[in-house]
Amino acid sequence: MRTSDKHSKIIEAAITVFARKGFFSARISDIAKEAQVADGTIYLYFNNKYDILISLFEEEIGKIILEVKLLIEKESDPRKMLQIFALHHMQLMEEQKELAEVLQMELRQSNKFMREYRNTKFIEYVDVVSAIIHKGQEEGVFRKSLLPGVFKRAFFGALDETSRLWVLSPDHSYTIDEAARQISDIFTFGIMTASPEGEKVTGP
């Protein structure tokens, strides 16, 4: 097997194994087996176990940021932008459950065991939201009293926690699209300067 990209193969295997067992319980040999590669081969592509996790973060979140920025750029209404962000985030979690689990669980506690690692990619992702809020405030669509720093976290947290539990629990009384719609509606109507009766952002 000469042509296969071992780096990506190992990253993908790591996503699967970390999702199943968590970073600490995952063994290098598990990842190697999943990637159909020898244990030692992994060390030709990564310095150590942490390095796999960090590379995984950087690469995967990088892709996500590119995608969502591209989608949002096409839109000009800040309220619709929020809707798009919500839908994209939730669909992503649905389509890539394993990646979702790794990002949601391991990403957060990574700064606990990797002191020096500052996750700039993650910050960049969440800052997409605060940029939208800022724009909305300048255009007078969103209340000026809103703190974008609070809003971005609240909005992201709402999406993330909802999708996290949606992915975990097997019983689904609602779809991911419904949830995304409900959340962006709650937030949008909540932050509009005008009364919700005025103009509808969502369709009938």
Partner DNA sequence: CAAAAATGAATGAATACGCATTCATAAGAC
Partner DNA sequence: GTCTTATGAATGCGTATTCATTCATTTTTG
Residues at the site binding DNA, with contacts judged by CB under 7 A: 1-2, 6, 25-29, 37-41, 43-44, 48-50
Angle at 10 between CA 116 and CA 43, to 5 degrees: 65
Alpha-carbon gap, residue 135 to 151, rounded angstroms: 13
Does residue number 41 form part of the binding site for a copy of itself (CB under 8 A)? Answer: no
Alpha-helix residue ranges (DSSP H) falling in 74-147: 78-95, 97-113, 120-138
DSSP secondary structure of 134-146: HHHHHTTSB-TT-
Contact with a copy of itself (CB under 8 A): which of 59, 76, 147, 200?
147
27 binds, among a copy of itself, DNA, none (CB under 5 to 8 A by kind): DNA
Give the span between the Cα atoms of 94 and 164, in whole angstroms. 9
Residue 130, token pair as written in the block: 């605060």
Binding letters toward a copy of itself, positions 162-191, x by CB under 8 A: x-xx--x----xx---xx--xx-xxxxxxx
**Residue 184, SS3 per DSSP:** helix
Residue 147: contacted member of DNA, a copy of itself, none (CB under 5 to 8 Å, by partner type): a copy of itself
Q: Which of DNA, a copy of itself, none does residue 182 bind (CB under 5 to 8 Å by kind)? A: a copy of itself
Judged by beta carbon distances under 5 to 8 A according to partner kind, the member of a copy of itself, DNA, none in contact with residue 60 is: none
- CB contact set of 103 (below 8 Å; sequence gap of 6+): 57, 60, 61
Phi-psi region of 36 (alpha: psi -120 to 50; beta: other; left: phi over 0): left
* Residue 137 interacting entry, from DNA, a copy of itself, none, C-beta within 5 to 8 Å by type: none
Nearest distance from C-beta of residue 135 to a copy of itself, angstroms: 17
Residues that bind a copy of itself (CB under 8 A): 21-22, 24-25, 104-106, 108-109, 111-113, 146-147, 149-151, 153-162, 164-165, 168, 173-174, 178-179, 182-183, 185-191, 195-197
